Amino acid sequence: MVHISKRLRMPVAQAMAVRLGAIALALLVCGIITTLTTGLNPLDVYASMFDGAFGTERKFWVMLKEVAVLLCVSLALTPAFRMRFWNLGGEGQVLMGALVTAACMINLADLVPEGLLFVLMLVLAPVAGALWAAIPALFKARWNTNETLFTLMMNYVATQLVAYSIIKWESSKGSGKVGVINQSSNVGWLPAIGDNKYLLIVLLVALVCVAMYVYLAHSKHGFEIAVVGESVDTARYLGIKVNRVIVRTLLLSGAVCGFTGFLLVSGADHTITTTLAGGAGFTGVMVAWLAKFNPFAMIGSSFLLVFMEMGADEISTAFGLNHGFGDILTGVILFFIIGSEFFINYKLNFQAKEVEAHV
Amino acid sequence: MFDLVGFIPRAVAQGIPLLFGCTGEIITEKSGNLNLGIPGVMYVGAMSGVMGSFFYESSLADPAQFNALLGFLIPVLCCLLGSLLMGLIYCFLTVTLRANQNVTGLALTTFGVGFGNFFGGSLIALTGSDVPSIALGTTSSVFRTTIPVLSGLGWFGEIFFSYGFLAYLAIATALVASQVLLNTRVGLELRAVGESPATADAAGIDITRYKYIATCVGCMIAGLGGLYYVMDYANGVWSNDAFGDRGWLAIALVIFSVWRPTLAIPSSILFGGLYILYLYIPTGSDSAIREIYKMLPYVVTILVLVVSSMRNSRENQPPESLGLPYFREDR
């Protein structure tokens, strides 16, 4: 008979070992799945995935950019999750920030000096994201409206707004694409440092990461968020205005998502599509959760997921598999990591049969 | 003039996958499990059915050997099996290993959508066709068989009897689910598990078993929604990502129908209608406005969420322990 009991706390090193063990086991299972479904040698597939992320200097920087973007979205979602507010609307909040950024770049490039344009984008993109997050937050605070589905639906509303704008802005009638914005003048593009166009994004997100850590761990707001997350009643007893904390935290969450949208349009893609956020709003949930909401640990978990994503792209071209295969592998690895948490939080006590008879 | 006779059957056909998904999720949620993996489950259900019928159709030397009964049973059984496995993964992680339900659900969706698109892509590659889709016309014709005499009754037949049998199965499932939940001992115990697992446990109800069974049955029902979409609605044509966001809408519909399968029937059809309404609204010269009309189902969902939370009546609440794991030792 197995008796399950809660562990007080597992040493960090041991917990990491369990997680790494889970990943190793997951890779083994993924290897078996790969061989069974495609007949390929899994080692070749993994080597190719590795190549996809680290193969060339360009790929490496693309990967760093992807990690930065995913990390930024995850950081944005974290304060809300700490409060047990399931913000599944990261996708939409990023899109709104991106939409506003693109609107500024398209409509204001000729009207205002570039410095002012950047100021406008840097202010308006977070505001747009914050508004998109504040709507569900207000209803949650006032009427306890289900935020999981509310934020989810806001994603689709944002997607359709972007789709509408794309048709309005499309480069040639009927193409359904905006094309590269300000391609000849590069107005509103985040500058490259040296000749590296992604370095600035990486640095900015690193700043956000440190700031978010300080905010959550060493500020009064961070403390209030933690208390509301643990127990709303305790928070009320302490005199914390719960509704205010919910709305304030979601404004922050949405603002950082909107900022990510700005980074994507002004810094990376220089165009806007409905799939610009590429599922980061959902992947970010898992990144934040895998890292136990620790901003620095999130660097590691977003790295893992981006590696899988880019590796999947690589194997899809190298072996003629399609992109879905990467999602399958990511799913399997996530299952294992999610499952491994059990062995970190709980202890299995195996009891001998005869002892049980006396109990 | 608005073509109502043309509109209603299309709305119903759009609504049926939602109804399957919604009924499945209601049963799941009644056990206290909030399964955000339903979109993935529906992809897997659809793809498993497609694979089953693909290999059956291609195993025949001569298309004339096609056996209608097998052509129907194989996809349905494959679909149920695939969805069941997805349900088992979810239960093992959330019930046995006590993992967070939302994170597990999202991972399940990532996996399921990847599963559908990967095997979809592989089958497309196997057929070597020029278009990025698989057509299973023969199987689809079985699924689309309508009742011979009744479907020919003019507008009446068009609105009520123009559907394949899975559509009627969806409605029957919802009605049966409602009966079981409200009027049987099993239903009572299931609701007890979702409302207050500690109380149910004290009364001698096996919590783990109820959660497993309810979630797996829920997944199998939801998977049929995916199968209906491919085989009936899409005429047996699978193309990657075509199923779209219907799984998420199905989850939202659970709230819309306040956890009652009988209410899920009209609300699914209503949402099916909202989903395609943009095709019927005249756009004039501005075709971009159509993208705005496509927001309708989502905006309506939001309004419903808000209104139902404002009314906050006692009988229209989610199961008390929804989304919370249950550990006997934690009490």
pLDDT digits (tens, 9 = 90+) for B93-106: 999 998 889 889 99
Is-contact B84 B49, C-beta < 8 A? no
- Identity of the residue in A157, A324, A338 whose CB atom sits nearest the CB atom of B299: A157
Rounded Cα gap, residues A73 and A80, in angstroms? 12
* Chain-chain contact of A342 with B116 (C-beta, under 8 angstroms): no
pLDDT of residue B2: 65
Based on the domain organization, do A198 and A297 belong to the same domain?
yes
Neighbours of A265 (CB within 10 A): 30
* A176 DSSP assignment: -
Quote the minimal CA–CA distance from A136 to chain B in Å.
Answer: 9
Tokens of A89: 């609307």
Are A303 and A334 members of one domain?
Answer: no
Q: State the Cα–Cα distance between residues B129 and B123, nearest whole angstrom.
A: 10
The verdict on A115 and A151 lying in the same domain is yes
Distance CA B50, CA B76 (A): 9
Alpha-carbon torsion, ordered A54, A60, A64, A66, to 10 deg: -80
Distance from CA of A81 to the nearest CA of B (A): 11
* C-beta separation of A296 from A213 below 8 A: yes
Residue A214 within any structural domain of the chain: yes
Q: Which of A250, A228, A242 is nearest to A76 (CA)?
A: A250
Instruction: Quote the minimal CA–CA distance from A116 to chain B in Å.
Output: 31
Which residue among A322, A328, A335 places its CB closest to the CB of B89? Answer: A335
Cα gap A291→A213, rounded to integer Å? 13
Place of tokens 């608005």: B2
What does chain B come to in residues?
Answer: 331
- In Å, how far are A42, A326, B86 from A28, measured between CA atoms? 9, 15, 20
Note whether A291 and A258 are same-domain residues: yes
Cα–Cα distance for residue pair A42/A30, rounded to 1 Å: 8
Is the Cβ pair B110, A139 closer than 8 Å? no
The amino acid sitting at B6 is: G
Query: Angle A199-218/A242-262 helices, nearest 10 degrees?
Result: 170
d(CA A169, CA A192): 26
Give the nearest partner residue to A335 out of B93, B255, B298, using CB atoms.
Answer: B93
- Please tell me whether residues A216 and A284 are part of one structural domain: yes
* Closest by Cβ to A324, choosing from B98, B118, B318: B118
The pLDDT of residue A357: 47
What does DSSP assign to residue B245? T
Asked if B329 has any chain A CB less than 8 Å from its own CB, the reply is yes
Of A196, A201, A185, A173, nearest in space to A265 by CA? A201
pLDDT for residue A318: 78
Interface test with A, best of B309, B310, B312, B328 (most A CBs within 10 A): B309
Residue B156: the pLDDT is 67
Q: Which residue has the higher pLDDT, A344 or B148?
A: A344
Q: What is the pLDDT of residue A16?
A: 84
Going by C-alpha positions, the residue among B178, B187, B193, B186 that lies closest to residue B321 is B193
Question: Is the CB of residue B240 less than 8 Å away from at least one CB of chain A?
Answer: yes
**How many separate domains does chain A show?**
2
Closest partner residue to A339 among B97, B102, B115, by Cβ?
B97
Q: Which residue of B has its CA nearest to A167?
A: B288
User: For residue A359, what pLDDT is reported?
Assistant: 44
For chain A, say whether B244 makes contact (Cβ under 8 Å).
Answer: no
Chain A CB within 8 Å of residue B252 CB: yes
Tokens of B132: 């990025």
Question: From the CA of B305, how many Å to the nearest CA of chain A?
Answer: 6
Contact A159, B299 (CB under 8 A): no
Residue A53 inside a domain? The answer is no
**CA distances (Å), B178 to each of A300, A315, B187, B320, in order?**
46, 47, 9, 19
Q: Is residue A51 part of a domain?
A: no
Q: Which residues of chain A lie closer than 8 angstroms to B298, CB-CB?
A: 153-154, 156-157, 160
- Answer whether A191's CB lies under 8 Å from A58's CB: no
CB A74 within 8 A of CB A238: no
Q: Which helix (H) or strand (E) holds A349?
A: strand A346-350
Distance from CA of B82 to the nearest CA of A (A): 14
Is the model's pLDDT at B286 over the cut of 80? no
Contact A331 B114 (CB under 8 A): yes
Check CB contact of B296 with chain A, cutoff 8 Å. Answer: no
Asked whether residue A202 is domain-assigned, the answer is yes
| Residues of B whose CB is below 8 A from A149 | 251-252, 255, 301, 305
Site from B43, B118, B320 to mutate, A interface, most A CB atoms within 10 angstroms: B118
- From B116, which residue of chain A is nearest by alpha-carbon distance? A324
Residues 6+ apart with CB under 8 A from B185: none
Between CA B50 and CA A263 the distance in angstroms is 41
Looking at residue A193, the DSSP 8-state letter turns out to be B
Residue in A with minimal Cα distance to B114: A324
Residue A27: how many other CB atoms lie within 10 Å: 17
Q: How confident is the model at residue B180 (pLDDT cuts 50, 70, 90)?
A: very high
Residues contacting B174, CB < 8 A, separation 6+: B19, B23, B261, B262, B264, B265
B126 contacts chain A (CB < 8 A): no
Of B177, B192, B193, B183, the residue nearest B259 (C-alpha): B177
The whole-angstrom distance between B294's CA and the closest CA on chain A is 7
List all residues 6 or more positions away from B146 whose beta carbon is below 8 Å from its beta carbon: B161, B162, B163, B164
Nearest CA in chain B to A145: B309
Best of B90, B100, B106 to mutate (most A CBs within 10 Å, chain A): B106
- Are A335 and B111 an interchain contact pair (Cβ–Cβ within 8 Å)? yes
**Could B329 and A4 be called an inter-chain contact, meaning their C-beta atoms sit closer than 8 Å?**
yes
Query: End of a domain among A294, A311, A328?
Result: A311
Q: How far is A279 from chain B (nearest CA, A)?
A: 10
Q: At B194, is the pLDDT very low, low, confident or very high (cuts 50, 70, 90)? A: very high
Mean pLDDT of all residues belonging to chain B: 86
Q: Are the beta carbons of B310 and B56 closer than 8 angstroms?
A: no
One domain for residues A126 and A178: yes
Give residue-wise pLDDT tens across range A60-72.
888 899 999 999 9
- Cα–Cα separations (whole angstroms), residue B85 to B36, B108, B224, B247: 16, 11, 14, 18
A218 shares a domain with A358: no
Q: Low-confidence residues of chain A, pLDDT below 70?
A: 1, 174, 351-359
Token representation of residue A108: 């204001």
Query: Do A113 and A146 share a structural domain?
Result: yes
From CA A201, how far away is CA A72, in angstroms rounded?
Answer: 10
Q: What is the pLDDT of residues B214-272, one digit of tens each?
A: 999 999 999 999 999 988 888 788 887 778 788 988 988 888 888 999 999 999 999 89
- The candidate with the shortest Cα–Cα distance to A105, out of A261, A339, A293, is A261
Same domain, A152 and A175: yes
Alpha-carbon Rg for chain A, nearest whole angstrom, is: 23
More confidently predicted of A37 and B207 = B207
Q: Which residue on chain A is closest to B117 by alpha carbon?
A: A324
The two three-digit tokens of residue A180, written as one number? 């590269």
Contacts of A327 in chain B (CB under 8 A): 110-111, 113-115, 117-118
Residue B186, SS3 per DSSP: helix
> Nearest-CA distance from B114 to chain A in Å?
4
- Residue A208 falls inside a structural domain: yes
Q: A246 and A147, same structural domain? A: yes
Residue A58 inside a domain? The answer is no
Q: Which two tokens stand for residue A84?
A: 């047990």
The conformation of residue A196, written as its DSSP 8-state character, comes to: B
How far is Cα A108 from Cα A187, in angstroms, rounded to an integer? Answer: 10
Question: Which residues of chain A neighbour B248 with C-beta distances below 8 Å?
Answer: 152
In a domain, A235, yes or no: yes
Interface check for B325 against chain A (CB to CB < 8 A): the answer is no
Residue B6's pLDDT band (boundaries 50, 70, 90)? confident
- Suggest the residue from B44, B113, B305, B314 to mutate for an interface test with chain A (most A CBs closer than 10 A): B305
Three-state secondary-structure class, residue B141: helix
**A230 and A198 within one domain:** yes
Contact A324 B240 (CB under 8 A): yes
* Residue B134 sits at the chain A interface (C-beta within 8 Å): no
Distance (Å, whole) CA B87 – CA B224: 13
C-alpha A29/C-alpha A24 separation (Å) is 9
Within-domain flag for A45: no
Measured between alpha carbons, how far is A100 from B254 in angstroms, rounded to an integer? 34
User: What pLDDT is stored for residue A204 in this prediction?
Assistant: 92
Mutation target among A148, A153, A273, A275 for the B interface, most CBs of B within 10 A: A153
Q: Which residues contact A98 (CB under 8 A, 6 or more apart)?
A: A125, A162, A261, A262, A264, A265, A272, A276, A277
Give yes or no: residues A31 and A100 share one domain: no
Q: What is the CATH number of the domain that holds A226?
A: 1.10.3470
In angstroms, the CA B74 to CA B227 distance is 12
Range of the domain at A281: 63-311
Residue A180: which of A243, A242, A305, A266 has the closest Cα? A266
Write down the pTM of the prediction: 0.88
- Residue B256 CA to residue B302 CA, distance in Å, equals 10
Mutation choice for A interface testing from B101, B110, B126, B248 by most A CBs within 10 A: B110
Rounded to a whole number of angstroms, the distance from the CA of B117 to the nearest CA of chain A is 5
Interface size between A and B, measured as CB pairs under 8 A: 153
Which residue has better confidence, A116 or B127? A116
The pair of structure tokens assigned to A122 is 């840097």
Judge whether residue B65 has pLDDT over 70: yes
